[in-house]
Amino acid sequence: MKYTLSVIKSFASAHCLREYKGKCENMHGHNWKVRAAFCGTELDKTGMLMDFTDIKAHLDNIMLYLDHKFLNEIPPFNGINPTAENIASYIFNELKKTETDTAKVCEVEVWESETSSATVTAIGCL
């Protein structure tokens, strides 16, 4: 059996897309929504894959770094384009540092609007 836990958080930030031909090359802001999912097959003695409180705390730390910033000025986005795809990848990689033996990051989805999102999924996710 596979278990998946998801937590949704949000942050607000500005960015501009380098080498993009269109209005998004200009500085603009988003109220980003992020869904992070951890997967696994084994529950601990309390019957949990991972404590939601821990997932929220890890995600809160990442959101704090990104919130109310001009993303183009902070690492790694001072070197790579702050696209929804790259933001999702950044959050995914940061959350990987918090994995346990039994709970692995399996997906991060980032919405830049109510209708547009980018998703990063672990290859070979359980």
Q: Give the catalytic positions in this structure.
A: 24, 68, 112
CA atoms in the 13 A half-sphere facing the CB of 18: 10
> Rounded distance, CA 109 to CA 122, Å?
12
Residue among 111, 81, 90, 86 at smallest CA distance from 20: 81
SS (H, E, C) 77-96: CCCCCCCHHHHHHHHHHHHH
Q: Which residues pair with 72 in a beta bridge?
A: none
CB 40 within 8 A of CB 50: yes
> Rounded distance, CA 107 to CA 41, Å?
16
